[in-house]
């Protein structure tokens, strides 16, 4: 067994850290407050190759492994999860799905600009009445011969406005239930697509989230991913990979909060000494560090399984469940350690706490992860 | 035109420095190594010049004197964008030895512009650039804060007391650069990291050279005083502390 990172993995982690420290930290609070999209930051991230870092270089990707991806997600999420969620969706939900299920033509046309970061992708699965239960797709993609006619609405779509290439899940054969769902690649500027207002979120406010309405939208048949009716399967495969991205994000949020808590507790004095010297604080730090370390190990194990072409769905669910839950606990403790300063924006930890909450909800709630984990263990 | 950057492998600037063997040796255990920050700026500027040169600058190479353990730092320079690298397989002892090894390794290799950082952030000797120029018998310009190539001519800026001076030079030459030569070091891209796998890193065996100096012992500077937090509302107290305790005003 070997816990050492390769020289390249370290280089990528450091590159992500430098990017986050230099490009994101300065205006992260302001962007969060104003819910301002990180346009220039995403552009720099694209130039550095973080938007399609695991995609095969022949499709303009970075060709890096999943362990590197986890390390990069962690570093960027320590500073700004609005940016890392854009990266995660583009990498593990969009590029991964098109690379795995797309035709050569689809890869040429869509994967390449996505992997370069010239275009941003969005994943359209959730609906107003269907979040966790993704089998219940109400949006319809009616088979009209050489195209699908799409009508309906999607909700909570990350990068819906900033993104220009969508992967849409819609029902073509309602009688077949989830086996009737198709996955379609949709260009945002197709006539009939309109966006709802920017959602005013609790955290990750600098990433744009909208509902997307489809009114008689014609999608060419050649934009369907894989076979007719394979959409649900594709969604589940995409989420296996997506979960790992969000697990790494939650890990980064927790690790970032821990770093700030350690730094603060060594500076702040109370009762004549640094608060780190009080056992009440020191023990909190110890508990937080163990949680962060566990989350990191779960994330890296899942990444290692994926890199070694072994089944990783169970591991990525465990990583997502654990990392998201401890991100909430660790950020809450980080706020507590900061006292009043933790409750104001300047010290970052209240923002990390708000960001942590979303990791328990999106790309499969903590409860859904428990269903995935328990079903996997109990099915035999 | 060919550019060569001399890079030094130094401990990360946040490293907690420890000594071993009765304070006669730096304890490198657990240390993260980085490209000397000045050298990284030099590399960044060289790459900017190459990109803007329309092919006139054909190559940017890096050279480092050090053992095999320095190779991750050299490969990072390749990932940032250097075209190839040379490592002289020699444990650096002092500036004279390092400058001598570099000179021997690059003599006759056709480098037109050789850039060295003003000092390394570990030993801060600030000697190699000048010595190297002397060994090679080429001009050197110290404390360079800007390098430009205008119509094929080298234009260097030096900071001097009360202003700056602009210097032209013949080729080849050595520039010893300080901060300002580039704004920020480049972050290696995924593509750069991937391409670094295939770029040449040539290992050159050292030549015999006398060691001119010896480290007798190391000593840490006195510990920094603890940071005192002052309430932002309480400017009066801040001024009072700066006056009576820190004695800076």
d(CA A342, CA A68): 31
Mean pLDDT of A279-293: 98
Mean pLDDT, range A272-294, rounded to an integer:
97
Nearest CA in chain B to A273: B226
Average pLDDT, chain A: 96
Give me the residues of A, 269-288, that contact B with CB < 8 A. 269
B22: distance to nearest CA of chain A, Å? Answer: 30
Contact yes or no for A8 and B229 at CB 8 A: no
Q: Does residue A320 carry a pLDDT above 90?
A: yes
Nearest chain A residue to B185 by CA distance is: A18
Out of A18, A64, A268, whose CB is closest to B190?
A: A64
What is the set of active-site residues of A? 363
Which residues in chain B touch residue A22, judged by CB atoms under 8 angstroms apart?
Answer: 184, 187
Do A11 and B75 count as a contact with CB atoms less than 8 A apart? yes
Instruction: Estimate the crossing angle of helix A39-47 against helix A81-88, to 10 degrees.
Output: 50
What is A7-120's CATH number, 3.40.190.10, 1.10.150.120, 1.10.540.10, 3.60.40.10?
Answer: 1.10.540.10
Task: Please give the pLDDT value at position B213.
Answer: 86
Average per-residue pLDDT for chain B? 92
CA distance, residue B71 to nearest chain A CA (Å): 10
User: Cβ of A15 and B193 within 8 Å?
Assistant: yes
Dump pLDDT digits (tens) for A222-250: 999 999 999 999 999 999 989 999 999 99
> Considering chain A, what percentage of its residues have pLDDT values greater than 90?
96
How many Cβ atoms are within 10 Å of B37's Cβ, its own excluded? 17
Say if residues A174 and A137 touch (Cβ distance below 8 Å).
no
Contact of A333 with A357, CB cutoff 8 Å: no
Q: Which of A317, A313, A319 is nearest to A300 (CA)?
A: A319
Residues paired with B25 in a beta bridge = B20
Residue A62 is nearest to which of B72, B76, B191, comparing CB atoms? B191
Distance of CA B122 to the CA centre of its chain: 10
**Which of A7, A18, A50 is the closest to B72 by Cβ?**
A7
- State the best of A6, A13, A14, A15 to mutate against chain B, taking most chain B CBs within 10 Å: A15
For A49, name the nearest residue in chain B, comparing CA atoms only: B190
pLDDT at residue B223, rounded to an integer: 79
pLDDT value, residue A335: 98
Contact criterion met (CB < 8 Å) for B193 and A8: yes
- CB spacing of B189 vs A15 below 8 angstroms: yes
Q: What distance in Å separates residue B197's CA from the closest CA in chain A?
A: 9
* Cβ–Cβ below 8 Å for A64 and B76: no
Radius of gyration in angstroms for the set of CA atoms belonging to chain B, rounded to a whole number: 21
CB B6 within 8 A of CB B20: no
Q: How many CA atoms lie within 13 A of A235 on its CB side?
A: 30
Residue with more model confidence, B119 or A51: A51
Q: Is the per-residue pLDDT at B123 higher than 90?
A: no
Interatomic CA distance for residues A346 and B128, integer angstroms: 44
Three-state SS annotation for A287-313? HHHHHHHHHHHHHHHHHHHHHCCCCCH
Distance CA A74, CA A115 (A): 20
- Give the C-alpha separation, B207 to B101, whole Å: 7
Interface residue A267 vs chain B (CB under 8 A): yes
Pairing of strands B84-88, B59-65: parallel
- 3-state secondary structure at position A2: coil
* pLDDT single digits (tens) A4-17: 999 999 999 999 99
Q: List CB contacts (< 8 A) between A48 and chain B.
A: 187-190
A48 closest CB neighbour out of B187, B227, B229: B187
Residues 225-254 of A with CB under 8 A from B: none
Q: Name the segment(s) of chain A with CATH classification 1.10.540.10.
A: 7-120
Maximum CA extent, chain B: 65
Residue B214 has pLDDT above 90, yes or no: no
Whole-angstrom distance, CA of residue B215 vs CA of residue A9? 36
Superfamily of domain A122-232: Butyryl-CoA Dehydrogenase, subunit A, domain 2 (2.40.110.10)
Which of A177, A175, A174, A184 lies closest to A227 in space, CA to CA? A184
The stretch B23-48 carries a mean pLDDT of: 93
Q: What is the pLDDT of residues A12-45, one digit of tens each?
A: 999 999 999 999 999 999 999 999 999 999 999 9
Residues B198/B191, Cβ–Cβ less than 8 Å: no
Q: How far apart are CA B66 and CA A13, in angstroms?
A: 24
- Please check the confidence at residue B14 and state whether its pLDDT lies above 80: yes
Residue that wins the pLDDT comparison between A257 and B245: A257
Is A2's pLDDT higher than 90?
no
In the prediction, which pLDDT does B186 show?
Answer: 95
Phi, psi of B155 (to 5 degrees): -125, 115
A-chain CB neighbours of B75 within 8 Å are 7, 11
CATH 3.40.50.620 fits B2-221, yes or no: yes
* Residues of chain B positioned with their CB less than 8 A from the CB of A57: 191, 194
**Domain residue spans in chain B?**
2-221
Q: Per-residue pLDDT tens for B225-244?
A: 777 888 888 899 999 989 98
For A298-316, the pLDDT digits (tens) are 999 999 999 999 999 999 9
Query: What pLDDT was estimated at residue B120?
Result: 86
Nearest by CB: B194 against A47, A62, A268: A62
Measure CA A332 to chain center.
Answer: 21
Q: With an 8 Å Cβ cutoff, are B189 and A47 in contact?
A: yes
Which CATH fold would you assign to the domain A236-378?
Butyryl-CoA Dehydrogenase, subunit A; domain 3 (1.20.140)
Please report residues of A whose CB lies closer than 8 A to that of B229.
Answer: 267-269
pLDDT over 90 at A341, yes or no: yes
State whether A48 and B189 contact (CB < 8 Å). Answer: yes
Q: Where are the beta strands (DSSP E) in B129-172?
A: 140-150, 153-160, 163-169
Q: How far is CA A63 from CA A52, A70, A92, A260, in A?
A: 8, 14, 13, 33
Q: Which of residues 7-36 of A touch B (CB under 8 A)?
A: 7-8, 10-12, 15, 18-19, 22
Tell me which residue of A230, A253, A282 sits closest to A360, measured CA to CA. Answer: A253
Which of A7, A19, A62 is facing B187, going by the closest CB pair? A19
Q: Residue A185: enclosing H or E segment and its boundaries?
A: strand A181-187
Q: pLDDT at residue B161 above 80?
A: yes
Can you give the pLDDT at residue B122?
84
C-alpha B145/C-alpha B157 separation (Å) is 6
What does the pLDDT average to over A270-278? Answer: 96
In angstroms, rounded to a whole number, what is the distance separating the alpha carbons of residues B160 and B166? 10
Which band of pLDDT confidence, cut at 50, 70 and 90, is reported for residue B83? very high
- Residue A216 neighbours by CB distance under 10 Å: 10
- Start-end ranges of CATH 1.20.140.10 in chain A? 236-378
Phi-psi region of A306 (alpha: psi -120 to 50; beta: other; left: phi over 0): alpha
Whether residue B20 has pLDDT greater than 80: yes
- Residue identified by tokens 């995660």 is A88
> Please, what's the b/e burial string for A164-203 (b: 16 or more CB within 10 A of its CB; e: otherwise)?
bbbbbbbbbeeeeebebbbbbbbebeeeebeebeebebeb
Is A18 within 8 Å of B187 when comparing Cβ atoms?
yes
Confidence label for A218 from pLDDT (cuts 50, 70 and 90): very high
Count of all residues that appear for chain A in the document? 380
Q: How far apart are CA A224 and CA A172, in angstroms?
A: 11
Contact yes or no for A63 and B72 at CB 8 A: no
Q: How far away is chain B from the Cα of A73, in angstroms, using its nearest Cα?
A: 14
Vertex A181 angle, CA A180 and A187, to 5° = 145
């Amino acid at each position: 067994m070997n816990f050492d990172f390769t020289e390249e993995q370290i280089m990528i982690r450091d590159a992500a850290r430098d990017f986050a420290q230099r490009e994101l930290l300065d205006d992260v609070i302001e962007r969060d407050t104003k819910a301002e999209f990180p346009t220039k930051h995403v552009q720099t991230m694209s130039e550095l190759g973080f938007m399609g870092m695991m995609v095969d270089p022949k499709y303009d990707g970075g060709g890096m492994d999943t362990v590197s991806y986890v390390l990069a997600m962690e570093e960027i999420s320590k500073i700004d999860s609005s940016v890392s969620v854009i990266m995660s969706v583009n990498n593990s939900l969009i590029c991964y799905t098109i690379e795995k299920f797309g035709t050569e033509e689809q890869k040429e046309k869509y994967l390449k600009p996505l992997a370069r970061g010239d275009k941003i992708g969005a994943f359209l699965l959730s609906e107003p009445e269907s979040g966790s239960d993704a089998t219940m797709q109400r949006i319809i993609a009616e088979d009209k011969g050489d195209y699908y006619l799409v009508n309906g609405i999607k909700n909570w779509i990350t990068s819906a406005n900033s993104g220009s290439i969508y992967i849409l899940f819609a029902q073509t054969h309602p009688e077949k239930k989830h086996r009737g769902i198709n996955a379609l690649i949709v260009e945002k500027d197709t006539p009939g697509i309109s966006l709802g207002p920017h959602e005013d979120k609790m955290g990750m406010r600098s990433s744009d989230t909208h509902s997307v309405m489809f009114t008689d939208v014609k999608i060419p048949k050649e934009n369907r991913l894989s076979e007719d009716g394979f959409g649900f399967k594709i969604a589940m495969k995409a989420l296996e990979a997506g979960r790992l991205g969000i697990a790494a994000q939650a890990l980064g949020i927790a690790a970032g909060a821990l770093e700030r808590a350690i730094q603060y507790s060594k500076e702040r004095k109370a009762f004549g000494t640094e608060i780190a010297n009080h056992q009440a604080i020191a023990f909190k730090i110890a508990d937080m560090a163990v949680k962060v370390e566990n989350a990191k190990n779960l994330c890296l194990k899942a990444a290692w399984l994926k890199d070694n072409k072994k089944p990783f769905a169970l591991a990525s669910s465990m990583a997502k469940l654990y990392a998201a839950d401890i991100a909430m606990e660790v950020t809450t403790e980080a706020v507590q350690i900061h006292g009043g300063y933790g409750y104001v924006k300047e010290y970052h930890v209240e923002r990390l706490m708000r960001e942590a909450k979303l990791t328990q909800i999106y790309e499969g709630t903590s409860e859904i992860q428990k269903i995935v984990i328990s079903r996997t263990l109990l099915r035999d | 035109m060919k550019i060569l950057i001399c890079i030094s492998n130094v401990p990360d600037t946040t490293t907690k420095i420890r000594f071993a063997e009765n304070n006669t040796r730096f304890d490198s255990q657990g240390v993260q190594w980085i490209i000397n920050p000045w050298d990284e700026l030099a590399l960044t500027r060289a790459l900017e010049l190459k990109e803007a040169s329309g092919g006139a600058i054909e190559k940017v190479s890096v050279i480092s004197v050090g053992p095999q353990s320095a190779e991750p730092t050299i490969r990072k320079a390749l990932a940032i964008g250097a075209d190839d690298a040379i490592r002289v397989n020699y444990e650096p002892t002092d500036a004279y030895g390092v400058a001598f090894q570099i000179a021997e390794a690059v003599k006759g290799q056709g480098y037109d512009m050789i850039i060295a950082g003003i000092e390394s952030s570990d030993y801060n000797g600030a000697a190699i650039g000048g010595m190297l120029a002397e060994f090679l018998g080429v001009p050197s310009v110290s404390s360079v804060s800007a390098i430009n190539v205008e119509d094929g001519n080298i234009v260097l800026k030096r900071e001097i007391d009360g202003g700056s001076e602009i210097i032209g030079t013949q080729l080849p030459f050595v520039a010893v650069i300080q901060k300002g030569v580039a704004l920020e070091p480049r972050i290696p891209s995924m593509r750069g990291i991937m391409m670094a796998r295939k770029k040449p890193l040539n290992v050159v065996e050292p030549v015999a050279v006398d060691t001119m100096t010896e480290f007798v012992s190391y000593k840490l500077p006195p510990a920094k005083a603890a940071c005192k937090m002052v309430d932002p509302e309480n400017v009066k107290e801040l001024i009072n502390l700066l006056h009576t305790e820190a004695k800076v005003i």
